[in-house]
């Protein structure tokens, strides 16, 4: 009996399997508004049989976007285009999730297929903000303005407002983006956070923005719906975030109502030379956090094969698989995996329009 295709429940939300489509930036929104691209992109993956579809990093303010093409939930007009997509996702048996984010010093960047470098202000760019006035580096050279205490609280308010709009849009799961060198990770990592006030230095101070933001969102996000976070649990570099301090943070957030930790890594500096790239390289770390913090985890990164994913769930290394590039390559990855894992009537992973034909 496949564990990958076993159902799962978080709070009042039931998932038909352990396959999640990872939030993946499409850089295709219009002033933060979704359009047909997002309906087809996300809808196709719900049709393909995933249990959870997490919509891309969605900015809590215009200046919190990575690029001008990023999705947004900073204004009410952005709600209905997403609600329409969510009605489709739910109608096809998947859970609709969304990741809300602020890009920090990595904001104001060009589209990746245009090079991804910082945009100067009179060419579509804007001033960027961060915990400390230090640039990311590489092609993101803009020096951010260090946030004042008042501005920190304003940004936290934007996360709360976006969470409320996500409820209106019909999302059943909300993910806070605490990873990949964006604003929250910039507070969390000693490699980016050189503040000398209560938001910098010690573990408690570096975790403060994340815990305060989590608490503020938890207070408005419905108790019966899962609230999760994607965290860069290691920076791979001396002086950076360590797995052990991430286990501590996971335990603290669990006590405060975190329902699952989406385990990720890196990207707070341009140096990725120490990343141990390879199939499922994050799985042992996710397992360690799952057991030490006693919290459900999702894990991604170079997970592409059905048997590989099945083993991760069956061995209790993680509770969800986050598919990213594998899902871009094939929206029907769950159907192909069901066949490879000898799931009974695998075509039933797909909607009746397809399964009735495939059954012949």
Ligand X SMILES: NC(=O)C1=CN(Cc2ccccc2)CCC1
Whether 182 is catalytic: yes
Backbone angles phi and psi of 63, in degrees to 5: -75, -5
Considering the complex, what minimum distance in angstroms separates the CB of residue 26 from ligand X?
10
x/- site string to ligand X, residues 256 to 275, per CB under 6 A?
A: -----------x--------
Cβ within 8 Å of residue 154, ≥6 positions away = none
* Binding mask of the shown chain, residues 296 to 325, with x at each position contacting ligand X by CB under 6 A: ------------------------------
To the nearest whole angstrom, how small is the minimum distance from the Cβ of residue 329 to ligand X?
A: 14
Binding residues with ligand X: total (CB under 6 A): 4
CA distance 18 to 94: 11
Q: Are 73 and 160 in contact (CB under 8 A)?
A: no
Three-class secondary structure of residue 201 per DSSP: coil
Select 173 or 343, whichever has its Cβ closest to ligand X. Answer: 173
Q: Which lies closer to ligand X via its Cβ, residue 42 or residue 57?
A: 57
- Pairing relation of β-strands 8-10 and 13-15? antiparallel
**27 or 209: CB nearest ligand X:** 27
Report the alpha-carbon distance of residue 331 to residue 49 in Å, rounded: 8
Angle value at C-alpha 271, between 265 and 273, nearest 5 degrees: 85
**CA torsion angle 341 280 51 338 (round to 10):** -10
Interface with ligand X, residue 326, by CB under 6 A: no
Find the binder of ligand X among 10, 21, 25, 73 (CB under 6 A): 25
Nearer to ligand X, 282 or 347 (CB): 282
180 touches ligand X (CB under 6 A): yes
Q: Which residue in the list 8, 27, 171, 182 is annotated as catalytic?
A: 182
Q: Please report the DSSP string for 332-343 in residue order.
A: THHHHHHHHTT-
**Paired tokens of 266:** 């890196």
To ligand X, the closest distance from the beta carbon of 25 in angstroms equals: 4
Which positions from 55 through 94 interact with ligand X, judged by CB under 6 A?
57
Output 17 or 29, the one with its CB closest to ligand X: 29
Are 360 and 75 spatial neighbours (Cβ–Cβ below 8 Å)? no
CB of 159 to ligand X, least distance (A): 15
**Does residue 176 contact residue 213 with C-beta atoms inside 8 Å?**
yes
Min dist CB 196 to ligand X, Å, is 29
Residue 206 touches ligand X, criterion: CB under 6 A = no
Q: How many CB atoms lie within 10 A of CB 330?
A: 15
Using CB under 6 A as the criterion, which residues of the chain lie in contact with ligand X when the complex forms? 25, 57, 180, 267
Give catalytic residue positions: 182
């Amino acid at each position: 009996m496949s564990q990958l295709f076993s159902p799962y429940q978080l709070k009042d939300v039931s998932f038909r399997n352990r396959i999640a489509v990872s939030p993946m930036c499409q850089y295709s929104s219009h002033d933060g508004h979704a359009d047909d691209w997002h309906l087809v992109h996300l809808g196709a993956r719900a049709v393909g049989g995933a249990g959870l579809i997490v919509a891309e990093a969605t900015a809590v303010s215009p200046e919190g976007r990575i690029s001008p093409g990023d999705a947004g939930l900073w204004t009410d007009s952005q709600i209905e285009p997403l609600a329409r997509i969510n009605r489709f996702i739910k109608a096809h048996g998947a859970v609709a999730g969304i990741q809300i984010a602020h890009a920090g010093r990595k904001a104001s960047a060009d589209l990746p297929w245009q090079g991804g470098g910082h945009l100067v202000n009179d060419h579509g760019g804007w001033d960027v903000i961060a915990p400390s006035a230090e640039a990311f580096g590489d092609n993101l050279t803009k020096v951010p303005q260090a946030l004042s205490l008042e501005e920190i609280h304003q940004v936290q308010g934007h996360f709360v407002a976006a969470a409320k709009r996500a409820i209106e849009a019909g999302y059943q799961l909300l993910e806070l983006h605490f990873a990949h060198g964006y604003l929250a990770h910039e507070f969390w990592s000693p490699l980016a956070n050189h503040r000398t006030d209560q938001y910098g230095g010690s573990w408690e101070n570096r975790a403060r923005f994340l815990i305060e933001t989590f608490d503020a969102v938890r207070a408005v996000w419905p108790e019966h719906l899962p609230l999760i976070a994607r965290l860069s649990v290691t920076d791979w570099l001396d002086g950076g975030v360590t797995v052990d301090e991430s286990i501590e943070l996971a335990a603290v957030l669990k006590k405060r109502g975190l329902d699952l930790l989406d385990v990720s890594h890196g990207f707070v500096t341009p140096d990725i030379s120490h990343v141990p790239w390879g199939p499922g390289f994050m799985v042992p770390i996710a397992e360690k956090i799952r057991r030490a913090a006693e919290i459900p985890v999702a894990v991604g990164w170079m997970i592409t094969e059905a048997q590989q994913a099945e083993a991760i769930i069956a061995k209790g290394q993680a509770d969800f698989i986050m598919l990213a590039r594998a899902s871009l390559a094939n929206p029907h990855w769950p159907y192909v995996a069901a066949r490879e894992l000898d799931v009974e009537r695998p075509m039933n992973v797909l909607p009746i329009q397809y399964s009735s034909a495939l059954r012949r």
